[in-house]
């Protein structure tokens, strides 16, 4: 087993003292764990403050970039954990999310939280992907 902790060049850099990606190579394949992602602008502030759909779109693009840096795609995601500050906006998030996933759908947890680490952020998403050895 080999563990790689990474902040891939060309992908979103962490907003604090943590790594974006932990990849565990298991011989027959790899598990890729991503840190929770929020939509950030160039100043490291929340992008699209309060806009659930726009933030979700931005986050899925960041997730795609991070996975691509490790030879994975959104289709390789096996688990999604979503943290919303207002569950009444879940339908907006679900509409965006539905464009990014097809059968078989990943396992999923969605919870409401009182606040995220960036003012104006209304959603945070973390994922786990699994890919076969290449």
124's tokens: 């945070």
CA dist., res. 92 & res. 89, Å (int): 6
Q: According to the model, what pLDDT value does residue 11 have?
A: 77
Q: According to the model, what pLDDT value does residue 27 have?
A: 86
Q: According to the model, what pLDDT value does residue 124 have?
A: 98
Question: Whole-structure pTM over 0.85, yes or no?
Answer: yes
Going along the chain from its start, the domains and CATH numbers come out as: 2-132 (3.30.1330.40)
Q: Is the pLDDT of residue 99 over 80?
A: yes
76's tokens: 């390789």
Return the sign of the alpha-carbon dihedral for residues 105, 67, 34, 51. negative
| Averaged pLDDT, 37-44 | 92
């Amino acid at each position: 087993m080999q563990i790689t902790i990474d902040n891939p060049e060309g992908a979103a850099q962490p907003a604090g003292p943590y790594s974006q990606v932990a990849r565990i190579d298991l011989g027959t394949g790899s598990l890729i764990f991503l840190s929770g992602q929020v939509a950030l602008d160039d100043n490291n502030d929340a992008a699209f403050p309060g806009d659930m759909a726009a933030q979700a779109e931005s986050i899925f693009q960041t997730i795609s970039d991070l996975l691509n840096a490790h030879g994975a795609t959104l289709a390789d995601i096996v688990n999604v954990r979503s943290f919303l500050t207002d569950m009444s906006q879940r339908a907006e998030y679900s509409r965006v999310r539905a464009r990014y996933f097809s059968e078989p759908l990943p396992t999923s947890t969605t919870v409401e939280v009182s606040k995220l680490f960036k003012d104006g952020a209304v959603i945070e998403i973390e994922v786990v992907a699994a890919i076969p050895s290449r």
